[in-house]
Amino acid sequence: WVAGGMGGKQKYNWWRMVSVNTTWENDTSPITHVADNSIVRLVHNGTWHYLRTGRAKPYSLGWDRRMFVAGNESSSSSSLWDLWKVKIVSEESPRPRGQLYAVTTTFQLYNAVSGCLLQATRAELPKWGREMSELVCTDANATRSESTLWNIEQVRDKRFKRARFWTLVKRHLLRDIVWINREMAISNNKLVADPDRYKHTESSPWTWPLLLYPMRLSAWSDTSIKYYEIGNPLTWWASTLCCLLYPLQILYWLVCWRRGASAWHPREFQRYWDTTKLLWGGWALHYLPFFLMGRVTYLHHYLPALYFALLLLAYQIQCLVRWYLSPRAMWPIVLLALLVTAYVSFVFMPLTFGSGEPMNQLAYLAWLPTWNIHKNLPGF
């Protein structure tokens, strides 16, 4: 059996450290601490097999040694390849460094026979391996790579008292911020769409500003309350047009200014520029990075960017009507736009606030052929 692991607190990641002679302790046994340079065996909680290495190559890589699970304490199939030497690397708490502690101790595991170092790779096993990251035993045993560092996240032993980690763990704010953002990026890129189960609940980032694939948020039977993730199409599309035209608008005004054909007052343009660059930049920074991600994406990932797009739209309307319309013409146009926006929001309210009616009665709201409001479309 090839050994693998998964990110986070998954049941596949639970291992027990046992002594070399595989004796088990109970709630009344004296506590035996795992010290630096101790020799232990690792038993998988789900299969009760030992973690073992050998001379075979890894499944996904052409070098190092394969990790697998085999044998158990009830059989005579234990091996010297099951033995692992604990090497403590660092201790975050002020406690003595000579033994393992939960959470605060970082350590490495060396195989007692070959001296190779247990390492978690980013090479994923096929579907039969649940796409877990393959574990290997690397012969580059002098490395301090993070993929070779381990810690104990939880101890299920009633003999130990619950620790107050906030009094023991040192604070490393900047390091922790960098680490957690990097880990989030890695884990997010592993959330890929399964082509065998593809549905249009997923959507590509380029479709979001166009509102091509709104998303069903619940069961779609005639008797259930149904929620549809969709916004006001008018303001949605208008904000998209505003964001796409904004760079051209700024370029045009800069060209006019350079040629002396601009009627802008410098302070007025500076005020406009300071506001719009913040709003357009917020839209771009919340939207464009999704094109670099390998993870599965949904329409609601666009909502933070939509917030900035709508603010930019409102500010553009405010500026344009103030600059180019007289007060007498400005207010009727603004009131008309508000009434139309409110009416469209009211029309789409059964979808956004939930409706228990059969969706055939709301078929008139399918403004685009890609909106699966009342019928399933290819790919759904």
Select the more confidently predicted residue: 359 or 189: 359
Select the more confidently predicted residue: 310 or 95: 310
- Checking if the pLDDT of 61 tops 70, the result is no
When pLDDT is averaged across residues 140-155 and rounded to a whole number, the result is 80
Query: To which H or E segment does residue 156 belong?
Result: none
Assigned token pair, 140: 């580059």
Nearest residue to 379 via CA among 200, 193, 194: 200
Q: Each residue of 301-328: pLDDT tens digit?
A: 999 999 999 999 999 998 888 887 887 8
Name the packing angle between helices 233-258 and 266-287 (round to 10°). 130
When pLDDT is averaged across residues 25-42 and rounded to a whole number, the result is 82
CA-CA distances (angstroms) from residue 188 to 2, 148, 193, 295?
25, 22, 12, 6
pLDDT computed for residue 380 by the predictor: 45
Query: To which H or E segment does residue 136 belong?
Result: strand 133-138
Confidence of residue 367 (pLDDT cuts 50, 70, 90): very high
User: Cβ distance 115 to 190 under 8 Å?
Assistant: no
* Phi and psi at residue 16, to the nearest 5°: -115, 140
Separation of alpha carbons 349 and 41, rounded Å? 61
Assigned token pair, 308: 């900035």
- Checking if the pLDDT of 287 tops 90, the result is yes
pLDDT computed for residue 107 by the predictor: 92
Nearest residue to 313 via CA among 280, 270, 338: 280
The sign of the CA dihedral 351, 357, 360, 361 is: negative
- The top-scoring range by mean pLDDT among 55-59, 94-98, 256-260 is 94-98
When pLDDT is averaged across residues 24-28 and rounded to a whole number, the result is 69
When pLDDT is averaged across residues 169-196 and rounded to a whole number, the result is 78
Q: Each residue of 338-363: pLDDT tens digit?
A: 999 999 999 999 999 988 888 888 88
Separation of alpha carbons 279 and 291, rounded Å? 20
Assigned token pair, 249: 């608008």
Confidence of residue 168 (pLDDT cuts 50, 70, 90): confident
Q: Each residue of 222-257: pLDDT tens digit?
A: 888 989 999 999 999 999 999 999 999 989 888 887
Name the packing angle between helices 233-258 and 327-347 (round to 10°). 140
pLDDT computed for residue 272 by the predictor: 87
